[in-house]
Amino acid sequence: MLKPEMNASLWSRGMMAVIAAQFLSAFGDNALLFATLALLKVEFYPDWSQPILQMVFVGAYILFAPFVGQVADSFAKGRVMMIANGLKLLGAASICFGVNPFVGYLLVGIGAAAYSPAKYGILGEITSGDKLVKANGLMESSTIAAILLGSVAGGVLADWHVLAALGVCALVYAGAVVANLLIPKLPAARPGQSWRFTPMTHSFFSACKSLWCNGETRFSLVGTSLFWGAGVTLRFLLVLWVPVALGITDNATPTYLNAMVAVGIVVGAGLAAKLVTLETVARCMPAGVLIGVAVVLFSLQHALLPAYGVLMLIGILGGFFVVPLNALLQAIGKASVGAGNAIAVQNLGENMAMLLMLGLYSLAVKVGAPVVGTGVGFGVIFALAIAALWFWQRRQ
């Protein structure tokens, strides 16, 4: 039974503490990415190493996927979030003090892997039913606002002083740790589970099988994996697209363009909360197909103003597409394998998609494929993949 406070409105103290912690953590993640990319440029790492940095990050998600869901369900999720943000703080601080950036970013990835099942799983403990879609909209809006501000802050500060940018990231993570302390302590969702390796992995892969065999959760898993794999690849595409298409070589302009996607996702998440329920999730699918079309359109731009507009459109379509799919998985996962396990399975799928797409993108950069052509091909493939998923779901 949830504590009485957790049955309060969407604007309860518990929800606000979760949103504040998530905002600071996501702000740090995005500022750190652009600050570390600037560090790689200063230290003359090759261009193809930039997506490798993110592959190290998502590799931590994949490696720890069988365990982090159980951790989130076995302890109070607010405390799990606090420890995870502590690991992020350690990773950012280590980069500040000269540790290899790939090693430091790996520590941040481990913290993020542990953080994700807890941050989404706690929503299902604070609220339920149709409010869960609204809670996800609030979470996504907070996250995207953090992406917006964090990305810009990381790029602008890195243009001024790379070490200062890294230091700000560490301080923001420290703020997230403090915010986590304000989350009311909820009872563990599934205490007393075995911590032996074999039972833990068996439990995780049983959850994978259970969610994959359910048509609705399979639909959600594939859709969100395609979306986030595409999203992280687009972010790195922007870094190389800006100097090629616009002739601009600073660190800030790619972050401004990323910010437009973030603004759009806030709008799209709000529209999804108003127009889509758990019973009408299929309404989000046309937006998914149009994301690919918009990426193709963006890749062909050669002026800054139209690029801003198209990227905002991509964000609106993305928010409308992904928020209902997240809510669907949380609602069904909470009742079947546990919210933490469901999000851990989702993270595995999303990060495998990221690893695959980033690997292909890094390979394309290494062999000298044209940036514009890579963007067009990427958009076409994404649109076709979402259309195939939509057709597959309607046949179920």
List pLDDT tens digits, range 188-220.
666 666 667 787 778 778 888 888 888 888 888
For residues 280-301, give the mean pLDDT: 89
Whether 53 has a pLDDT exceeding 80, the answer reads: yes
Q: What is the pLDDT of residue 8?
A: 44
**What domains sit in the chain, N to C, each tagged with a CATH number?**
13-193 (1.20.1250.20), 208-395 (1.20.1250.20)
User: Distance between CA atoms of 65 and 60, rounded to whole angstroms?
Assistant: 8
Q: What is the pLDDT of residue 4?
A: 41
For residues 73-79, give the mean pLDDT: 78
Q: Is 39 helix (H, G, I), strand (E, B) or coil?
A: helix
**Average pLDDT over all residues of the chain:** 83
Model confidence at 228, in pLDDT bands (50, 70, 90)?
Answer: confident
User: Distance between CA atoms of 23 and 27, rounded to whole angstroms?
Assistant: 6
Nearest Cα to Cα of residue 154 among 76, 202, 95: 95
**Above pLDDT 70, what percent of the chain?**
91
Q: What is the pLDDT of residue 192?
A: 64
User: Distance between CA atoms of 221 and 341, rounded to whole angstroms?
Assistant: 13
Q: What is the pLDDT of residue 169?
A: 94
User: Distance between CA atoms of 382 and 226, rounded to whole angstroms?
Assistant: 8
pLDDT digits (tens, 9 = 90+) for 134-172: 777 777 778 877 877 888 888 889 888 999 999 999 999
Q: What is the pLDDT of residue 39?
A: 92
Nearest Cα to Cα of residue 200 among 31, 72, 103, 18: 72
Q: Determine which of 4-13, 296-305, 367-376 has the lowest per-residue pLDDT on average.
A: 4-13
User: Distance between CA atoms of 150 and 161, rounded to whole angstroms?
Assistant: 16
CA distances from 72 to 15, 85, 180, 352 (A): 17, 14, 14, 21
Q: What is the pLDDT of residue 218?
A: 85
Q: How big is the CA angle at 282 (ends 277 and 287), to the nearest 5 degrees? A: 105
pLDDT digits (tens, 9 = 90+) for 289-299: 999 999 999 98
Q: What is the pLDDT of residue 327?
A: 80
For residues 251-278, give the mean pLDDT: 84
Whether 3 has a pLDDT exceeding 60, the answer reads: no
User: Distance between CA atoms of 298 and 314, rounded to whole angstroms?
Assistant: 9
For residues 357-375, give the mean pLDDT: 85
Whether 130 has a pLDDT exceeding 70, the answer reads: no
User: What is the rounded (10 degree) CA torsion for 26, 31, 33, 37?
Assistant: 170
Q: What is the pLDDT of residue 45?
A: 81
pLDDT digits (tens, 9 = 90+) for 90-123: 999 999 998 999 999 999 999 988 887 787 777 7
